[in-house]
Structures are given as structure tokens and as C-alpha cells.
Chains A and B, each alone.
Chain A
Amino acid sequence: MTRPSERGFAIVGKNERKVDGVGLVTGRSKFVADLLLPDTLHVKILGSPHAHARIVDIDTTEAEALGGVACVLTHKNTPTTRHTTAGQGYPEPSPYDVRMFDMKVRFVGDRVAAVAAGSEEIALEALKRIRVVYEELPAVLSIDDALRDGAPVVHDEKDSTGIYDAPRNIVADVDIDVGDVVKGFEESDAVVEVVCETQYAQHTPIEPHVVLAYLDSDERLVLRTSTQVPFHVRRIVAQTLDLPLHRIRVIKPRVGGGFGAKQEVLVEDIAGLVALRTGRPALLELTRAEEFIAARTRHPMRIRVKLGAMEDGRLHAIEMEAFSNTGAYGAHGLTVLANTGSKTLPLYNKAENAHFFGRAIYTNLPVSGAYRGYGATQGYFPLETGMDELAEKLSIDPIELRRRNHIRLGETSPIFEKLGEGREGVPQTVKSCELERCIGIGAERIGWSEKRGKRVREGPWVHGVGMSIMMQGSGIPGIDMAAATIKMNEDGSFNLLIGATDIGTGSDTILAQMAAEVLGVPLSKIIVTSSDTDITPFDVGAYASSTTYVSGTAVVRAAEKVREQILSVAAPLLNSTSEGLTLSEEAVKTPDGQRVGLDRVCQRAMYESDQFQIAATASFVPSESPPPFLANFAEVAVDTGTGRVEVLHYVAAVDCGVAVHPKLAEGQMEGSIVNGIGYALTEEMLISSRGRVRNPSLFDYKILGALDVPRIDVVLVDSYEPTGPMGAKSVGEIGINGPIPTIANAIHDAVGIRLRQTPFTPERVLAAMHAS
């Protein structure tokens, strides 16, 4: 295969300015709430004050009578169809356990009613006038509570489907094995077992969930929404509101971050119904508090990992048992759970015996959903700290232990086939893997051999270094589909129509780069239109690290088809056949230097002879999910007087195949690492004994700011994925998985404690130091 340097890409691999960049730095780009339509109604939601209750009665007369109120919605006047809010491919692997407005509330903040009024103030006043009579029910506020015999049942309704065992509060159950782990552990020379717990965390995109719903001049419902999944929104809203799908258009404008929070249909159904009922535009924007309480979170999990290895460090048995708290509704419950094993265990394919089993559990708590990393983030905590412990037990250097066990080029793992996104996966072989180089580069940059085990002291601070390795995936094989349409204009420019969803990741830009590369034009000649269900072809949306690999391949295929058409029109102009002609520098060229400009070619096709529109559509469904690989190294300092942990230096050496846009790839890594450090050290949603979120604000839920971030070195290790567009793999998620285990291992190097519960707050760290 040609290496990227030999291929001499013109645009791929360059740090072009983002195609949407100027609009963003000038503030001219319109996000959802920036488009003002006359007569817009403001929608506010009434949330339940109780963790678990029946709505005995709900009286909205006073609210409806308030001047300026256009519409009040409750279970009495809205559709009853059970659906999922999870933005996933149909049929969604999540239970249909949500009603638009239910007669039962299942967490504090669950929907009770909604009001649409002429202003936010009126809507909020109207909410206060809704009279609700609740019958409080006993609530389950933890996994253990929910699994106890005779526990209250969160979903006792008859019309929900897709729940593994509703009477026992079990949303999903996964159990796969390879070989015989029981025997494997018996045969092992060393066995290590760790149990880790992760906390409720929230994505906190700086732009909250927001939608503007309105009827166009043909009375079709238009949803202009901040989403990661426009096509899933269209389908699920059609289902929920019992509307024909073709009467709905979903448009995604600029989006202010998603990270998984917006892989969900949370606000579009309400705004849509208001627009339909009133004929007026309806704006629904969640407050920051609602983002914490009533949007989505990361699944808190309790995971036990047991590792058995031979004396020489070769893993012989791995067992992972995961319990995840999916909250009051089951969106993404099965798939996050399965991902916890499917994106972690194949990394150590040398273990002949493996067992993954787990359950996703309902509780009367905030609803967990998709969040960057998607279960792998939780799973790597016990796995990579367990490996660190195993290394210590066997007196093998932690790096060496990884080297002896990780998957390599040309290898496979039976887990690939046995465990996919909530169902069986797909067998695959690793076709690109630079993990060894990642490890070597990272170790050198952090100063591993100079610093490991030295416990250098600086006043109250003790230094330590730790490492971890990981893999993720690039899309969901056999399930994710992306498509692209390219059409040519007579000045030699092209419209690129893609369903792929740019939520700030820069997918518009990198997909345009790929098209430009194939078509031999500068980036400015590719005009991108994305994520409009009326105009752009299908794409599952921005999740599962699918955009670069899956949407990218669709774009390349469409561009190749268009190139063939261009060459066929150009050939007679150059007295040649298509063979041997190339596209570059906005022209079709013969080997001996003749050229005809692309504008000339399109003019001919559009106006002169055998006229046709040069255009093509192509689709792609991946048959495998080539993993990016990552080696993380961190140097930390632990304050032995207060327990504070400071990350001094973080190195992430990543193999994501060819980086289509190095700065955007680095940006994905840097952003996900900083998010991961917050998840490791400072971020925690606190829940009261009555199931209420105690800190639903950025004042009280602390994400990292510019003064908190350590020195971060991201190294994009040169690599090439033969099945990937231009050799690329995806990189959107993997970075967030590193900080927890890397920092935990570094803390152990520094002060000899093993932390099992995130976040590693100073108080927890100090307590652990005193206990040991």
C-alpha cells in the first residue's frame, strides 16, 4: 500500500482553514437560537419534583387561561406511542419505554407538562399554575436498590417493549465468552481482581439542547435543531407524533458541541407538536440546569475485572463484569454496556479465555445515554489499572506487560465477532496498528525510565508517572451507513451534499478535503451542504467515531464516480480515452501535458453536447471497524498534605491512520483528553437521598478551564489504514478513555495507592493515602 508521504496528497493531510471557520469567528454563523422568526412561541417544560410517582391528576385550566399562553401539553392531549429517544439506526437497539408525556414520572425532572407562550416569562408563570396531584411511589436510587428482591419496578407499564426483564429493572443483559475463564484462572500463575466505580458525569456542551420548530409555506414541519442525528430525529419524531415522515424536514445548522448528549431526541417532539397545533414557530431551549437534570449523562458503572496471567506476563484469562446504571429510561443501555467489553477486551487478544457479562439497570435517577467513549471509557478504568497491578505482581514493567499482550497487525480477536453494538459483532482483522510506536514515542516523551518509581519529592508533592493503552473503533460495521452526493457547477466547483453531521468536529471540512483530493481542486471549490433531510442523502450521524471512516468513504466513492464522468466528457476534448487521464490543479490532464480546465468540461456537459448533469451519489456500509490505537502517559504530582492531584504532563501518541487534517485530529484528541481529565479529577453529579441532582450548574459541576489544563502533547503517529478513505481511521472518541487509568496508575507510582472510584478528588485521595 502506498504510504501517505509517497502518495503526495495535495489537500488531505493539510491544515486547511475550516470551511465554516470565518462565520464562526465573526459570529455570523447562525446556531439554532440565532434565527429569529416573528411570532415565535417559547416553550418551557414542567419537570417532576419526585423521583418516582404516578400523576393522579393534572389540571391546566389556570395555566391555559393566562394571557399569552398558546398551548399546554400533558399526557391527556398528546400521543401515547412508546418509542426510544436514542438516536440509533432502525430498529433501535434500545427499549421503546418512553411516552411523550407519561402518566408516571420516573426521575426528578421527568416530563410532566409543557407550555408554549409568547415569552419565556409567561411560559414560566404558566408552569407555576399547573396543578398536579402526585401519588409518590418508593424509588430505587442505586443499582443495588433496583436489583433487590421486591424492589419497586421502574417500568411496570404493559406497552413498553425491548426491555430484558422489566419486573427486575433489568434493561439489558449481555453474556459472551471465549474458552473457559474458570479453568483459565486456575491455570494462571498470577491473578488480579479489581472493582471500579465511575460517577454520573455530564457532557456540558456550551450550547444547550435547542430546537426551533415551524411550519413552512406548505405546512410541512421543519425542525431546526442542535442535533447529532438529523435523520434519526426525523424518523423518531414521525413515529412519536404519528406524522408521515415525508411531512417532516430536519435541518442541523451550526451546533455548539454534542459529545453524545445530542445523539438523542429530547426536545424536537414537543416543539414540533406545538408548531403543528398552533401554526406558530416554537423555540425550546433547555436551561443549563435542565441540561444536568433532564438531558443525558454518562452511565455510572461498577465494573469488576479479573486478570489471570502466566509468569512471563502472557494473559491467559480475562473476565469483565459490568453493571451500568441507565437511569429512568433505557436509551443506549444495551449498546453502551456491550461497548464496555467490545472496545476493551479485543485489545488483549492473547488471552485464550475471556468472559464479558453485564447488565444495564433501571433506577429512578437521571437518564444515562451516549457519551464520547460510550462504555469503553468506563471499561478501561479497571482493565488498565488491573494491568498495572498485574505488572506489579509479576515484577514486569507495565509497558513490557502491554507489549506482550496487545493485539497486532494482522491479528484478530474472537471478541470482535461475539460482541458488537448490543448484538453479535463482525469478525475482523487488524489491518493497521502502530501501537508499538505509540508506546515507544510516549514513553520517551514523558521520560518513563527517568521518572518511573523515583517518587521525586518537591515540598509536599510527590511525582509519579503512569501509562495505559487503548483502542476504539471507526463506525459500526454492517449497521452504519453514510451517503454523499456530489454535483458539478460550470465554473469547475462542486456541491458536496452529505448527511454527515458536523457538531464542531470539522467533518464538513475533512469530507470536503477528501472530495477535493479526488477531484483535483482546492478546498474553496467544494461547497458543503450537510445534515438537511430534504437535501442531503442519508447518514447515521455523528457518533460511534463513524464520520471520517464511514462518511469519508462514501464521499470518496461519490467523488470517484464524478471523476469518471468528468474524464468521459474531457476525453474527446483531449483526443484521448479516459484511461491515463488525471485530475489535478482544476484540470483534466494527459500524460504528455495537455490539459482542459474543469470549467470547460462542465460547460460542455451542461450546455453544449450530450448534455447531462455531472453528478453522483455513493453510499458505504463498513464491513469492519478499524480501531485507532492510543498510548497514554502522564506525569502527576500528588500533594501528600491535601490529596490534590495535579497532572503536570500528558502525552497521547495516537494511531488514527492518515490524519486528513492534523490540527483537527489533534483538536479532537486535546479536547477529549481535557474532558477525560475532568472526568478523572473534578467532575461529579451529586444526587441527593431523594434522587435530586444537587449541583445542576457549571458553578457547582466543575469542568476544566484554561488555568487547569496541563501541558498536553498529542503525537499523531504516522499510519495508514488500507480500508480507510485516503488511509484514514476515526479519532473522535478514543482520547477521552485515557486519563482515568493513566492518572490512576501515575498516582500509584507516586504514593502507592490504588484508587477505585472516580473522580479522584483531593478528599478521596487523601483518605486513601491515610487508609493505606
Chain B
Amino acid sequence: MKLSLTINGVPRSVTADDAGETLLTILRREGYSGVKKGCGAGDCGACAVLLNGRAVNSCLVLAAKADGAEIITVEGLAMGGRLHPLQEAFLDEGAVQCGYCTPGMLMSAIDLLTRNPDPNEHEIREAISGNLCRCTGYAKQIRAIQIAAKRMRDGGDD
């Protein structure tokens, strides 16, 4: 099945094996290896991408559903060689350990900050509640999102 997708701003025509293939396998086959597989069942959030602006588990998005959609993956976050404030904050705060959950978590954080530029701690925790991490205990990730939100409010994209 042929799909017309816009991936990280670039219009792409990709071929899915069939309408029931998931966006996760399609994206990874197309080379977007930043989208990770942790469980394949929507339980861990490692595969999260933005689909028409909202963060979703790409392992739960069928090809038929994705057709015509705008997709952002972690590879699309850095703009013109500069890291997104969330990426900077994750690095500064020590919020990245093994990094396997990081792309998915960044997607959830972006979804949150797009709609809520000044989230409280509970709102941040809720936004990443579907992204499991075994390394960090979440403390520094929550802090990094708070710091990124403030930087984005104060000065735009740096």
C-alpha cells in the first residue's frame, strides 16, 4: 500500500507491506531509527512520534490511519543544526542515561509544551505517564522539561 506522508517537514511516498502494518515498522524501515521499539504493544511509549501534532504510540498506528498525515520524529527536532530547547535541557540536567526512552519522551514533552507552555509538575508527569523509563527514575526528566518550558517562555528558541 502506498502512503503519502510528510515526515519532519518533507513529503515522502512510502510503501507499506499492507494497510495493517504499523507506523513504527514503516518509519524504522525508512531509516528513522530514532523511533524505538520497546514492546510493540503501546505499553512503554518508546515508539512515540507526533502524528498531526499529537504524540502517539507509533506501534499502534496502522498504515491506513497514517496515510496523509504529518509526522514528526526525534530526527526532526533539531532545527538548522541547533538542538531544540528540550534536547538541550535533557543534556544539561542529566536526564538521559541509556537514551532508549528519550526520543519518545521528547515527543510527549513537545506535545505538552505546544498546548501548555507553563505546565505544573503534575501536568508534566501526566504528559510523560505513558513513557516508561527504567534508568532515571524520572526526576531529572521532569526537571529538564520544567527548565525547557521556562527557557522557551523566556526567550523563544534561544
Residue of A15, A17, A208, A256 with most chain B CB atoms under a 10 A cut-off: A256
CB A252 to nearest CB in B, in angstroms, measures 12
A-B contact pairs, 5 of them (CB 8 A): A22-B83, A26-B74, A34-B28, A664-B94, A707-B126
Residue from the list B34, B90, B129, B131 in contact with A28, Cβ < 8 A: B34
Set of chain B residues within 8 Å of A712, measured between Cβ atoms: 137, 139
Is A671 a contact partner of B134 (Cβ separation < 8 A)? yes
* A378 sits at the interface (CB 8 A): no
Indicate if B54 sits at the interface (CB-CB under 8 A).
Answer: no
Dominant secondary structure of chain A at its interface with chain B = loop
B96-148 at interface with A (beta carbon < 8 Å)? 96-103, 106, 124-126, 128-142
Q: How many residues of A contact B (CB 8 A)?
A: 56
Binding site for A on B (CB under 8 A): 28, 31-41, 43-44, 46, 73-75, 77-78, 83, 87, 90-94, 96-103, 106, 124-126, 128-142
Roughly how many angstroms separate A702 CA and B117 CA in the complex, as a whole number?
Answer: 31
- Beta-carbon contacts of A644-679 to B below 8 Å, as 1s and 0s? 000000000000000001011011001111110000
Number of A-B contacts (CB under 8 A): 176
**Given that A259-B134, A698-B132 are known contacts, is A24 also in contact with B94, CB under 8 Å in the complex?**
no
Contact with B91, one of A22, A27, A34, A257 (Cβ below 8 angstroms) = A22
In contact, A206 and B132 (Cβ under 8 angstroms): yes
Chain B: CB-nearest residue to A34? B33
A255 contacts chain B at the CB level, 8 A cutoff? yes
For A29, list chain B residues within 8 Å (CB).
99
A115 on interface, CB distance cutoff 8 Å: no
Is the C-beta of A505 less than 8 angstroms from some C-beta in chain B? Answer: yes
Whether A667 lies near B134 (C-beta < 8 A) is no
Q: A661-B94, A671-B136, A707-B129 are in contact. List 7 more A-B contacts (CB 8 A).
A: A23-B99, A24-B98, A25-B102, A26-B75, A27-B34, A31-B36, A703-B132
Contact residues in B for A664 (Cβ distance below 8 Å): 94, 97
Task: Kindly state the separation between the CA atoms of A206 and B103 in the bound complex, as whole angstroms.
Answer: 12
Q: How far is the CA of A671 from the CA of B93 in the complex (A)?
A: 14
Contact B137 A206 (CB under 8 A): no
Q: With A26-B83, A667-B136 as given contacts, are A206 and B100 in contact (CB-CB < 8 Å)?
A: yes
- Whether A504 and B106, one on each chain, are in contact in the complex, defined by CB atoms closer than 8 angstroms, is no
- Chain B binding surface, main DSSP class: loop
A670 touches B137 (CB 8 A): yes
Q: CB distance A673 to B137 under 8 Å?
A: yes
- Asked whether any CB of chain B lies closer than 8 Å to the CB of A705, the reply is yes
Contact status A667-B39, CB under 8 Å: no
B15 to nearest A CB, angstroms? 15
The residue on A at minimum CB distance from B105 is A706
Chain A residues whose C-beta falls within 8 Å of the C-beta of B129 in the assembled complex: 705-707
| Given A26-B34, A671-B97, A698 and B137 contact (CB-CB distance below 8 Å) | no
Known contacts: A27-B34, A28-B75, A667-B94. The answer to whether A257 contacts B134 by CB under 8 A is yes
Kindly state the separation between the CA atoms of A288 and B83 in the bound complex, as whole angstroms. Answer: 32
State in angstroms the CA–CA spacing of A108 and B133 once bound together: 28
What is the distance, in angstroms, from B33's C-beta to the closest C-beta of chain A? Answer: 4
Q: How far is the CA of A671 from the CA of B94 in the complex (A)?
A: 12
If the complex has contacts A663-B93, A670-B137, are A697 and B39 also in contact, measured as CB distance less than 8 A? yes
Please measure, in the bound complex, the distance between the C-alpha atom of A606 and the C-alpha atom of B109, giving whole angstroms.
49
CA distance A698 to B132 in the complex (A): 9
Given A22-B83, A29-B99, A504-B99, decide whether A706 and B36 contact each other with a Cβ distance below 8 A. no
Q: Does A343 contact B (CB under 8 A)?
A: no
Decide: A674 and B138 in contact? CB cutoff 8 A: yes
Give Cα distance in the complex from A570 to B121, angstroms. 55
> Given the complex, which residues of B lie within 8 Å of A674, measured CB to CB?
137-138
- What is the minimal beta-carbon distance from B132 to any residue of chain A, in angstroms? 6
- Closest-by-CB residue of B relative to A662 is B94
CB-CB under 8 A for A17 and B91, given A26-B34, A26-B74, A698-B44: yes
Residues in A with CB closer than 8 Å to B35 are: 27
Contacts of B38 in A (CB 8 A): 206-208, 256, 288
A505 lies within 8 A of B99 (CB): no
Q: Tell me, rounded to whole Å, the shortest Cβ–Cβ distance linking A674 to chain B.
A: 4
Contact assessment for A703 and B134 in the assembled complex, using a CB-CB cutoff below 8 Å: yes
Q: How far is the CB of A203 from chain B (nearest CB, A)?
A: 7
The chain A residue with its CB closest to the CB of B42 is A699
CB-based contact A18/B91 at 8 Å: yes
Within 8 A of B (CB), among A676-712: 697-699, 703-707, 709, 712
Cα separation A771 to B106 with both chains bound (whole Å): 47
A703's nearest neighbour on chain B, judged by CB, is: B132
